[in-house]
Structure 1
Amino acid sequence: MFFSDADFEQYRTLIYNESGINFTATNRSILESRLRERLRDKGSDSVKTYFATIAKDQGELKSFLDSITTNLTRFFRNQAHFDALEHFVVPELMKIKQGSGNTTIKIWSAGCSTGEEPYTIAMLMSEILPPSWKFDIVASDISLKCLMTAKEGFYADARITGIPDAYLKKYFDKVEGGYKIHADIQSRIRFDYHNLKNDSGQRNLDIVFCRNVIIYFDEAAQTNVINRFWDSMASKSFLFIGHSESLFGMATKFEFVKTEWATLYRKFI
Protein backbone atom coordinates (compact mmCIF):
# COMPACT_ATOMS: atom_id res chain seq x y z
CA MET A 1 0.00 0.00 0.00
CA PHE A 2 1.39 3.41 -0.99
CA PHE A 3 -0.27 5.33 1.82
CA SER A 4 -1.30 3.57 5.04
CA ASP A 5 -3.91 4.89 7.45
CA ALA A 6 -1.12 5.77 9.87
CA ASP A 7 0.74 7.68 7.13
CA PHE A 8 -2.42 9.56 6.21
CA GLU A 9 -3.01 10.54 9.83
CA GLN A 10 0.58 11.81 10.17
CA TYR A 11 0.38 13.90 7.02
CA ARG A 12 -3.09 15.29 7.63
CA THR A 13 -2.14 16.33 11.17
CA LEU A 14 1.03 18.07 10.00
CA ILE A 15 -0.83 19.83 7.17
CA TYR A 16 -3.58 20.96 9.52
CA ASN A 17 -1.16 22.23 12.16
CA GLU A 18 0.92 24.11 9.60
CA SER A 19 -1.81 25.55 7.35
CA GLY A 20 -5.29 24.92 8.71
CA ILE A 21 -6.16 22.90 5.59
CA ASN A 22 -8.24 19.92 6.64
CA PHE A 23 -7.94 16.63 4.75
CA THR A 24 -10.60 14.06 5.65
CA ALA A 25 -11.34 10.54 4.48
CA THR A 26 -13.49 12.11 1.75
CA ASN A 27 -10.62 13.98 0.11
CA ARG A 28 -7.82 11.59 1.09
CA SER A 29 -7.35 10.60 -2.57
CA ILE A 30 -6.47 14.21 -3.44
CA LEU A 31 -3.71 14.27 -0.83
CA GLU A 32 -2.43 10.89 -1.99
CA SER A 33 -2.33 12.03 -5.61
CA ARG A 34 -0.48 15.25 -4.78
CA LEU A 35 1.98 13.35 -2.57
CA ARG A 36 2.70 10.87 -5.37
CA GLU A 37 3.50 13.80 -7.69
CA ARG A 38 5.75 15.43 -5.10
CA LEU A 39 7.68 12.21 -4.44
CA ARG A 40 8.10 11.68 -8.18
CA ASP A 41 9.48 15.22 -8.54
CA LYS A 42 11.92 14.56 -5.69
CA GLY A 43 12.98 11.19 -7.07
CA SER A 44 11.79 9.40 -3.94
CA ASP A 45 9.40 6.52 -3.31
CA SER A 46 9.30 6.56 0.49
CA VAL A 47 6.33 8.26 2.16
CA LYS A 48 7.94 7.90 5.58
CA THR A 49 11.31 9.34 4.53
CA TYR A 50 9.64 12.32 2.89
CA PHE A 51 7.55 12.96 6.00
CA ALA A 52 10.73 13.07 8.08
CA THR A 53 12.13 15.61 5.60
CA ILE A 54 9.19 18.03 5.69
CA ALA A 55 8.94 17.71 9.48
CA LYS A 56 12.39 19.31 9.83
CA ASP A 57 12.93 21.26 6.57
CA GLN A 58 10.78 24.42 6.44
CA GLY A 59 11.71 25.12 2.82
CA GLU A 60 10.57 21.72 1.64
CA LEU A 61 7.47 21.97 3.85
CA LYS A 62 6.50 25.19 2.06
CA SER A 63 6.98 23.49 -1.29
CA PHE A 64 4.86 20.54 -0.17
CA LEU A 65 2.04 22.79 1.08
CA ASP A 66 2.25 24.59 -2.26
CA SER A 67 1.79 21.29 -4.08
CA ILE A 68 -1.37 20.28 -2.21
CA THR A 69 -3.32 23.52 -2.59
CA THR A 70 -6.02 23.90 -5.21
CA ASN A 71 -5.63 27.06 -7.30
CA LEU A 72 -8.79 27.55 -9.33
CA THR A 73 -9.36 31.17 -10.31
CA ARG A 74 -10.15 33.48 -13.22
CA PHE A 75 -10.56 37.16 -13.98
CA PHE A 76 -13.85 38.69 -12.76
CA ARG A 77 -14.80 35.43 -11.06
CA ASN A 78 -18.28 35.86 -9.55
CA GLN A 79 -19.06 39.16 -11.28
CA ALA A 80 -21.71 40.00 -8.67
CA HIS A 81 -19.00 40.61 -6.07
CA PHE A 82 -17.31 43.17 -8.30
CA ASP A 83 -20.65 44.82 -9.01
CA ALA A 84 -21.18 45.13 -5.24
CA LEU A 85 -17.64 46.50 -4.87
CA GLU A 86 -18.28 49.14 -7.52
CA HIS A 87 -21.82 50.19 -6.67
CA PHE A 88 -21.99 49.70 -2.90
CA VAL A 89 -18.68 49.14 -1.09
CA VAL A 90 -16.51 51.84 -2.68
CA PRO A 91 -19.23 54.55 -2.50
CA GLU A 92 -19.81 53.64 1.18
CA LEU A 93 -16.10 53.85 1.98
CA MET A 94 -15.78 57.19 0.21
CA LYS A 95 -18.66 58.55 2.31
CA ILE A 96 -17.10 57.21 5.50
CA LYS A 97 -13.67 58.66 4.73
CA GLN A 98 -14.96 61.98 3.39
CA GLY A 99 -13.49 64.89 5.31
CA SER A 100 -11.00 62.71 7.21
CA GLY A 101 -8.09 63.50 4.92
CA ASN A 102 -7.66 59.76 4.29
CA THR A 103 -8.28 59.16 0.61
CA THR A 104 -6.61 55.75 0.31
CA ILE A 105 -8.60 52.50 0.22
CA LYS A 106 -6.58 49.57 1.58
CA ILE A 107 -7.39 46.12 0.18
CA TRP A 108 -6.18 42.60 0.87
CA SER A 109 -6.67 39.76 -1.61
CA ALA A 110 -6.04 36.73 0.63
CA GLY A 111 -5.49 33.45 -1.18
CA CYS A 112 -4.86 35.32 -4.44
CA SER A 113 -3.61 32.26 -6.36
CA THR A 114 -2.12 33.30 -9.72
CA GLY A 115 -3.22 36.93 -9.44
CA GLU A 116 -6.44 37.17 -11.42
CA GLU A 117 -8.43 38.44 -8.43
CA PRO A 118 -6.11 41.29 -7.32
CA TYR A 119 -5.56 42.37 -10.92
CA THR A 120 -9.32 42.44 -11.44
CA ILE A 121 -9.71 44.58 -8.31
CA ALA A 122 -6.90 46.90 -9.41
CA MET A 123 -8.40 47.43 -12.86
CA LEU A 124 -11.84 48.10 -11.42
CA MET A 125 -10.53 50.52 -8.79
CA SER A 126 -8.57 52.35 -11.48
CA GLU A 127 -11.80 52.79 -13.40
CA ILE A 128 -14.12 53.93 -10.62
CA LEU A 129 -12.01 55.98 -8.19
CA PRO A 130 -11.75 59.76 -8.73
CA PRO A 131 -8.20 61.02 -9.46
CA SER A 132 -7.83 62.40 -5.93
CA TRP A 133 -8.32 58.93 -4.43
CA LYS A 134 -5.79 56.09 -4.20
CA PHE A 135 -5.91 52.38 -3.53
CA ASP A 136 -3.36 49.98 -2.10
CA ILE A 137 -3.58 46.22 -2.63
CA VAL A 138 -1.71 43.44 -0.86
CA ALA A 139 -2.20 40.02 -2.46
CA SER A 140 -1.05 36.89 -0.64
CA ASP A 141 -1.00 33.14 -1.06
CA ILE A 142 0.57 30.05 0.47
CA SER A 143 1.76 28.92 -2.97
CA LEU A 144 5.10 30.40 -3.99
CA LYS A 145 4.63 28.99 -7.49
CA CYS A 146 1.33 30.85 -7.88
CA LEU A 147 2.84 34.06 -6.53
CA MET A 148 5.61 33.88 -9.14
CA THR A 149 2.98 33.62 -11.89
CA ALA A 150 1.03 36.50 -10.38
CA LYS A 151 4.09 38.74 -10.14
CA GLU A 152 4.97 38.03 -13.77
CA GLY A 153 1.54 39.22 -14.91
CA PHE A 154 1.49 37.08 -18.06
CA TYR A 155 -1.63 35.08 -18.93
CA ALA A 156 -2.04 32.68 -21.83
CA ASP A 157 -4.84 33.34 -24.31
CA ALA A 158 -7.09 30.76 -22.62
CA ARG A 159 -6.70 32.50 -19.25
CA ILE A 160 -8.09 35.93 -20.17
CA THR A 161 -11.69 34.71 -20.51
CA GLY A 162 -14.04 37.03 -18.64
CA ILE A 163 -12.08 40.24 -19.10
CA PRO A 164 -14.25 42.88 -20.83
CA ASP A 165 -12.83 43.93 -24.19
CA ALA A 166 -12.39 47.52 -23.02
CA TYR A 167 -10.32 46.39 -20.03
CA LEU A 168 -8.25 44.02 -22.16
CA LYS A 169 -7.36 46.83 -24.57
CA LYS A 170 -6.67 49.35 -21.82
CA TYR A 171 -4.76 47.28 -19.27
CA PHE A 172 -3.02 44.50 -21.24
CA ASP A 173 -0.50 44.21 -24.07
CA LYS A 174 -0.85 41.35 -26.54
CA VAL A 175 2.37 39.33 -26.57
CA GLU A 176 3.36 35.98 -27.99
CA GLY A 177 1.13 33.28 -26.54
CA GLY A 178 -1.04 35.54 -24.43
CA TYR A 179 -1.34 38.89 -22.67
CA LYS A 180 0.87 40.88 -20.30
CA ILE A 181 -0.73 43.24 -17.80
CA HIS A 182 0.51 46.82 -17.80
CA ALA A 183 3.26 47.77 -15.37
CA ASP A 184 1.19 50.58 -13.84
CA ILE A 185 -1.40 48.03 -12.67
CA GLN A 186 1.30 45.64 -11.46
CA SER A 187 2.86 48.44 -9.44
CA ARG A 188 -0.38 48.91 -7.48
CA ILE A 189 -0.18 45.41 -6.00
CA ARG A 190 2.29 43.98 -3.51
CA PHE A 191 2.42 40.19 -3.75
CA ASP A 192 3.50 38.42 -0.58
CA TYR A 193 3.76 34.89 0.78
CA HIS A 194 1.36 34.37 3.68
CA ASN A 195 -0.06 31.40 5.56
CA LEU A 196 -3.57 32.27 6.80
CA LYS A 197 -2.87 30.26 9.93
CA ASN A 198 -0.78 33.24 11.07
CA ASP A 199 -1.47 36.92 11.66
CA SER A 200 -0.57 38.90 8.55
CA GLY A 201 0.49 41.95 10.58
CA GLN A 202 -1.79 44.13 8.46
CA ARG A 203 -4.10 46.64 10.12
CA ASN A 204 -6.79 49.17 9.14
CA LEU A 205 -7.77 47.37 5.95
CA ASP A 206 -10.92 48.68 4.27
CA ILE A 207 -11.68 45.61 2.14
CA VAL A 208 -10.68 41.97 2.42
CA PHE A 209 -11.32 39.40 -0.31
CA CYS A 210 -10.90 35.80 0.81
CA ARG A 211 -13.02 33.76 -1.57
CA ASN A 212 -13.17 29.98 -1.85
CA VAL A 213 -10.36 29.50 0.66
CA ILE A 214 -11.90 28.81 4.07
CA ILE A 215 -13.96 26.04 2.50
CA TYR A 216 -10.82 23.89 2.87
CA PHE A 217 -10.61 24.51 6.64
CA ASP A 218 -12.54 22.91 9.46
CA GLU A 219 -14.80 25.02 11.69
CA ALA A 220 -12.12 25.87 14.27
CA ALA A 221 -9.60 26.95 11.63
CA GLN A 222 -12.28 28.94 9.76
CA THR A 223 -13.18 30.83 12.92
CA ASN A 224 -9.53 31.62 13.65
CA VAL A 225 -8.96 32.93 10.12
CA ILE A 226 -12.10 35.07 10.15
CA ASN A 227 -11.27 36.54 13.56
CA ARG A 228 -7.77 37.39 12.35
CA PHE A 229 -9.39 39.24 9.45
CA TRP A 230 -11.45 41.18 11.99
CA ASP A 231 -8.27 42.22 13.81
CA SER A 232 -6.67 43.38 10.55
CA MET A 233 -9.63 45.48 9.38
CA ALA A 234 -10.63 49.08 10.03
CA SER A 235 -13.93 50.11 11.53
CA LYS A 236 -16.70 50.15 8.89
CA SER A 237 -14.85 47.83 6.50
CA PHE A 238 -16.00 44.99 4.24
CA LEU A 239 -15.27 41.28 3.82
CA PHE A 240 -15.97 39.20 0.71
CA ILE A 241 -15.98 35.39 0.98
CA GLY A 242 -16.92 32.77 -1.62
CA HIS A 243 -20.54 32.38 -2.69
CA SER A 244 -20.55 28.83 -1.29
CA GLU A 245 -19.05 29.96 2.04
CA SER A 246 -20.87 31.43 5.02
CA LEU A 247 -20.17 32.83 8.48
CA PHE A 248 -23.57 31.60 9.67
CA GLY A 249 -23.26 30.01 13.11
CA MET A 250 -19.64 31.07 13.46
CA ALA A 251 -18.42 32.91 16.57
CA THR A 252 -17.57 36.14 14.78
CA LYS A 253 -18.53 39.82 15.09
CA PHE A 254 -19.07 40.47 11.38
CA GLU A 255 -22.50 41.65 10.26
CA PHE A 256 -24.19 40.10 7.24
CA VAL A 257 -24.94 42.60 4.46
CA LYS A 258 -27.28 41.90 1.55
CA THR A 259 -26.93 44.35 -1.32
CA GLU A 260 -28.73 44.59 -4.63
CA TRP A 261 -25.78 42.81 -6.25
CA ALA A 262 -24.30 40.34 -3.78
CA THR A 263 -24.05 39.41 -0.12
CA LEU A 264 -20.99 40.24 1.97
CA TYR A 265 -19.93 41.00 5.54
CA ARG A 266 -19.14 44.20 7.38
CA LYS A 267 -17.12 45.19 10.41
CA PHE A 268 -19.25 47.97 11.85
CA ILE A 269 -17.91 49.45 15.08
Structure 2
Amino acid sequence: MNLSESKMPLVENEDLNKSDFGYDNEGCSSGYESATEQSSADTDRESDTSISEFNNDELPAAEPEVMKYRSTQELCNTLQCIISLPDLCDVMFLVGEKRVPIYGMKAILATRSRVFYNLILDAQRQLPSSKKSKKKSKENSTPSNHIVIEIRNYQPDDFRELITFVHCGKVNINTSNVTGLYCGASEFDLTDLKIACRDFTTRTIRKGNASAILKSTKFYLAHHRAAAKFIEKIHGYQRSING
Protein backbone atom coordinates (compact mmCIF):
# COMPACT_ATOMS: atom_id res chain seq x y z
CA MET A 1 0.00 0.00 0.00
CA ASN A 2 1.46 3.35 -1.00
CA LEU A 3 0.59 6.91 -0.06
CA SER A 4 0.81 9.56 -2.73
CA GLU A 5 0.34 13.24 -1.95
CA SER A 6 -1.12 15.59 -4.53
CA LYS A 7 0.79 18.56 -5.95
CA MET A 8 -2.12 19.59 -8.15
CA PRO A 9 -2.98 23.30 -8.16
CA LEU A 10 -6.53 23.99 -7.00
CA VAL A 11 -7.69 26.31 -9.80
CA GLU A 12 -6.07 25.06 -12.98
CA ASN A 13 -4.32 21.77 -13.67
CA GLU A 14 -0.81 22.03 -15.04
CA ASP A 15 0.03 19.97 -18.13
CA LEU A 16 2.54 17.36 -17.04
CA ASN A 17 4.35 15.14 -19.49
CA LYS A 18 2.77 11.71 -19.29
CA SER A 19 5.14 8.77 -19.36
CA ASP A 20 4.59 5.06 -19.76
CA PHE A 21 5.48 2.46 -17.18
CA GLY A 22 9.14 2.05 -16.44
CA TYR A 23 10.27 5.55 -17.41
CA ASP A 24 10.99 8.66 -15.37
CA ASN A 25 8.01 11.00 -15.11
CA GLU A 26 9.39 14.05 -16.84
CA GLY A 27 7.58 17.24 -16.04
CA CYS A 28 6.86 16.36 -12.41
CA SER A 29 7.75 19.03 -9.95
CA SER A 30 10.49 18.07 -7.51
CA GLY A 31 9.23 20.55 -4.95
CA TYR A 32 12.30 22.75 -5.22
CA GLU A 33 12.42 26.14 -6.87
CA SER A 34 15.45 27.17 -8.88
CA ALA A 35 17.07 30.54 -8.26
CA THR A 36 19.07 32.60 -10.77
CA GLU A 37 22.73 32.56 -9.84
CA GLN A 38 24.72 35.79 -9.74
CA SER A 39 28.33 35.99 -10.78
CA SER A 40 30.88 37.17 -8.25
CA ALA A 41 31.51 40.31 -10.35
CA ASP A 42 27.84 41.25 -10.20
CA THR A 43 27.81 40.66 -6.47
CA ASP A 44 30.85 42.90 -5.97
CA ARG A 45 29.31 45.69 -8.03
CA GLU A 46 26.12 45.53 -6.02
CA SER A 47 27.95 45.66 -2.70
CA ASP A 48 30.11 48.61 -3.83
CA THR A 49 27.05 50.52 -4.95
CA SER A 50 25.17 49.80 -1.75
CA ILE A 51 28.07 50.99 0.43
CA SER A 52 28.50 54.24 -1.51
CA GLU A 53 24.84 55.10 -1.11
CA PHE A 54 25.08 55.30 2.70
CA ASN A 55 26.71 58.32 4.33
CA ASN A 56 27.73 58.97 7.92
CA ASP A 57 28.35 55.27 8.51
CA GLU A 58 24.64 54.53 8.14
CA LEU A 59 23.76 50.89 7.60
CA PRO A 60 20.67 49.56 5.79
CA ALA A 61 17.80 48.45 7.98
CA ALA A 62 17.83 44.72 8.64
CA GLU A 63 15.16 42.79 6.77
CA PRO A 64 12.48 41.31 9.03
CA GLU A 65 12.70 37.57 9.67
CA VAL A 66 10.08 35.50 7.89
CA MET A 67 9.16 31.89 8.65
CA LYS A 68 6.79 29.90 6.45
CA TYR A 69 4.91 27.21 8.33
CA ARG A 70 2.68 24.55 6.81
CA SER A 71 0.41 22.11 8.59
CA THR A 72 -0.94 20.13 5.65
CA GLN A 73 -1.55 16.93 7.60
CA GLU A 74 -4.08 18.57 9.91
CA LEU A 75 -5.77 20.20 6.91
CA CYS A 76 -6.03 16.83 5.14
CA ASN A 77 -7.47 15.21 8.26
CA THR A 78 -10.05 17.99 8.60
CA LEU A 79 -11.15 17.71 4.97
CA GLN A 80 -11.40 13.94 5.27
CA CYS A 81 -13.58 14.37 8.35
CA ILE A 82 -15.84 16.83 6.49
CA ILE A 83 -16.56 14.49 3.58
CA SER A 84 -17.47 11.74 6.05
CA LEU A 85 -20.28 13.95 7.44
CA PRO A 86 -23.14 14.22 4.91
CA ASP A 87 -24.68 17.28 6.61
CA LEU A 88 -21.52 19.31 5.89
CA CYS A 89 -21.41 18.36 2.20
CA ASP A 90 -23.44 19.69 -0.71
CA VAL A 91 -22.85 17.00 -3.37
CA MET A 92 -24.04 13.40 -3.18
CA PHE A 93 -22.83 10.80 -5.68
CA LEU A 94 -24.93 7.67 -6.06
CA VAL A 95 -22.36 5.11 -7.11
CA GLY A 96 -22.75 1.70 -8.72
CA GLU A 97 -25.78 -0.52 -9.17
CA LYS A 98 -26.69 -0.23 -5.49
CA ARG A 99 -26.48 3.59 -5.66
CA VAL A 100 -24.16 3.89 -2.68
CA PRO A 101 -24.08 7.52 -1.46
CA ILE A 102 -20.65 9.17 -1.43
CA TYR A 103 -20.41 12.82 -0.43
CA GLY A 104 -18.28 15.77 -1.43
CA MET A 105 -18.04 19.54 -1.51
CA LYS A 106 -18.79 21.22 -4.82
CA ALA A 107 -16.33 24.10 -4.26
CA ILE A 108 -13.42 21.67 -3.97
CA LEU A 109 -14.61 19.24 -6.64
CA ALA A 110 -15.22 22.01 -9.18
CA THR A 111 -11.89 23.73 -8.67
CA ARG A 112 -9.86 20.53 -8.70
CA SER A 113 -11.34 19.09 -11.89
CA ARG A 114 -12.96 20.73 -14.89
CA VAL A 115 -14.94 17.51 -15.48
CA PHE A 116 -16.43 17.63 -11.98
CA TYR A 117 -17.14 21.33 -12.55
CA ASN A 118 -19.22 20.54 -15.65
CA LEU A 119 -21.00 17.64 -13.93
CA ILE A 120 -22.00 19.88 -11.04
CA LEU A 121 -23.20 22.65 -13.36
CA ASP A 122 -25.33 20.20 -15.35
CA ALA A 123 -26.82 18.78 -12.15
CA GLN A 124 -27.61 22.27 -10.87
CA ARG A 125 -29.39 23.18 -14.11
CA GLN A 126 -31.61 20.13 -13.72
CA LEU A 127 -32.67 21.06 -10.19
CA PRO A 128 -36.38 21.90 -9.88
CA SER A 129 -37.47 25.44 -9.03
CA SER A 130 -37.55 26.50 -5.39
CA LYS A 131 -41.37 26.20 -5.13
CA LYS A 132 -41.40 22.69 -6.56
CA SER A 133 -38.48 21.61 -4.39
CA LYS A 134 -40.29 22.82 -1.26
CA LYS A 135 -43.35 20.75 -2.17
CA LYS A 136 -41.20 17.70 -2.83
CA SER A 137 -39.32 18.16 0.43
CA LYS A 138 -42.64 18.10 2.32
CA GLU A 139 -43.68 14.93 0.54
CA ASN A 140 -40.36 13.17 1.16
CA SER A 141 -39.56 11.93 4.63
CA THR A 142 -35.82 12.54 4.10
CA PRO A 143 -35.37 15.92 2.38
CA SER A 144 -31.91 16.61 1.01
CA ASN A 145 -30.13 19.80 0.01
CA HIS A 146 -27.45 17.90 -1.90
CA ILE A 147 -26.75 18.11 -5.60
CA VAL A 148 -27.29 14.50 -6.71
CA ILE A 149 -25.07 12.96 -9.39
CA GLU A 150 -25.32 9.33 -10.49
CA ILE A 151 -22.05 7.48 -11.14
CA ARG A 152 -22.69 3.94 -12.32
CA ASN A 153 -19.39 2.86 -13.87
CA TYR A 154 -17.24 2.65 -10.71
CA GLN A 155 -16.98 0.37 -7.75
CA PRO A 156 -18.13 2.38 -4.69
CA ASP A 157 -14.94 1.80 -2.68
CA ASP A 158 -12.75 2.90 -5.60
CA PHE A 159 -14.82 6.03 -6.21
CA ARG A 160 -14.75 6.89 -2.51
CA GLU A 161 -10.96 6.72 -2.60
CA LEU A 162 -10.99 8.95 -5.70
CA ILE A 163 -13.16 11.55 -3.97
CA THR A 164 -10.89 11.43 -0.91
CA PHE A 165 -7.92 12.18 -3.16
CA VAL A 166 -9.66 15.13 -4.78
CA HIS A 167 -10.50 16.65 -1.39
CA CYS A 168 -7.40 15.75 0.63
CA GLY A 169 -4.64 15.32 -1.94
CA LYS A 170 -3.67 11.86 -0.70
CA VAL A 171 -4.68 8.35 -1.63
CA ASN A 172 -4.01 4.74 -0.63
CA ILE A 173 -3.25 2.76 -3.79
CA ASN A 174 -3.32 -1.05 -3.79
CA THR A 175 -3.65 -3.82 -6.34
CA SER A 176 -7.44 -4.00 -6.02
CA ASN A 177 -8.20 -0.30 -6.59
CA VAL A 178 -5.38 0.90 -8.86
CA THR A 179 -7.38 0.19 -12.05
CA GLY A 180 -10.42 2.09 -10.81
CA LEU A 181 -8.24 4.99 -9.66
CA TYR A 182 -6.43 5.05 -13.01
CA CYS A 183 -9.75 5.14 -14.86
CA GLY A 184 -10.96 7.92 -12.56
CA ALA A 185 -7.76 9.88 -13.05
CA SER A 186 -8.21 9.58 -16.82
CA GLU A 187 -11.90 10.52 -16.83
CA PHE A 188 -11.66 13.43 -14.39
CA ASP A 189 -8.29 14.73 -15.63
CA LEU A 190 -6.32 14.18 -12.42
CA THR A 191 -2.84 14.03 -13.89
CA ASP A 192 -0.85 13.52 -10.71
CA LEU A 193 -3.11 10.65 -9.62
CA LYS A 194 -2.55 8.97 -12.97
CA ILE A 195 1.21 9.27 -12.50
CA ALA A 196 0.93 7.82 -8.99
CA CYS A 197 -1.03 4.84 -10.36
CA ARG A 198 1.65 4.28 -13.00
CA ASP A 199 4.43 4.39 -10.43
CA PHE A 200 2.63 1.91 -8.19
CA THR A 201 1.92 -0.41 -11.12
CA THR A 202 5.54 -0.30 -12.29
CA ARG A 203 6.82 -1.33 -8.88
CA THR A 204 4.17 -4.04 -8.57
CA ILE A 205 5.12 -5.54 -11.95
CA ARG A 206 8.81 -5.53 -11.00
CA LYS A 207 7.91 -7.56 -7.92
CA GLY A 208 6.05 -10.08 -10.10
CA ASN A 209 2.56 -9.22 -8.82
CA ALA A 210 0.98 -8.03 -12.07
CA SER A 211 -1.66 -10.75 -11.89
CA ALA A 212 -3.09 -9.16 -8.73
CA ILE A 213 -3.71 -5.94 -10.64
CA LEU A 214 -5.19 -7.70 -13.65
CA LYS A 215 -7.85 -9.29 -11.43
CA SER A 216 -9.24 -5.82 -10.68
CA THR A 217 -9.58 -4.87 -14.35
CA LYS A 218 -12.53 -7.10 -15.24
CA PHE A 219 -15.21 -4.69 -14.03
CA TYR A 220 -13.66 -1.61 -15.62
CA LEU A 221 -13.00 -3.20 -19.01
CA ALA A 222 -16.75 -3.13 -19.65
CA HIS A 223 -17.09 0.55 -18.73
CA HIS A 224 -13.86 2.42 -19.44
CA ARG A 225 -11.63 2.64 -22.49
CA ALA A 226 -8.80 3.69 -20.18
CA ALA A 227 -8.88 0.22 -18.60
CA ALA A 228 -7.98 -1.45 -21.91
CA LYS A 229 -5.06 0.95 -22.40
CA PHE A 230 -4.01 0.31 -18.82
CA ILE A 231 -3.87 -3.46 -19.44
CA GLU A 232 -1.93 -2.96 -22.68
CA LYS A 233 0.71 -0.97 -20.82
CA ILE A 234 0.96 -3.63 -18.13
CA HIS A 235 1.54 -6.36 -20.72
CA GLY A 236 3.96 -4.15 -22.64
CA TYR A 237 6.06 -3.49 -19.57
CA GLN A 238 6.00 -7.19 -18.64
CA ARG A 239 7.39 -8.04 -22.08
CA SER A 240 10.12 -5.40 -21.74
CA ILE A 241 11.22 -6.90 -18.41
CA ASN A 242 11.12 -10.51 -19.57
CA GLY A 243 12.65 -9.76 -22.95
TM over 0.5: same fold?
A: no
Larger C-alpha radius of gyration, 1 or 2? 2
> TM-score, normalised to structure 2's length?
0.28
Structure (1/2) with the larger strand percentage: 1
Query: Which of 1 and 2 has higher RCO (CA within 8 Å, sep 6+)?
Result: 2
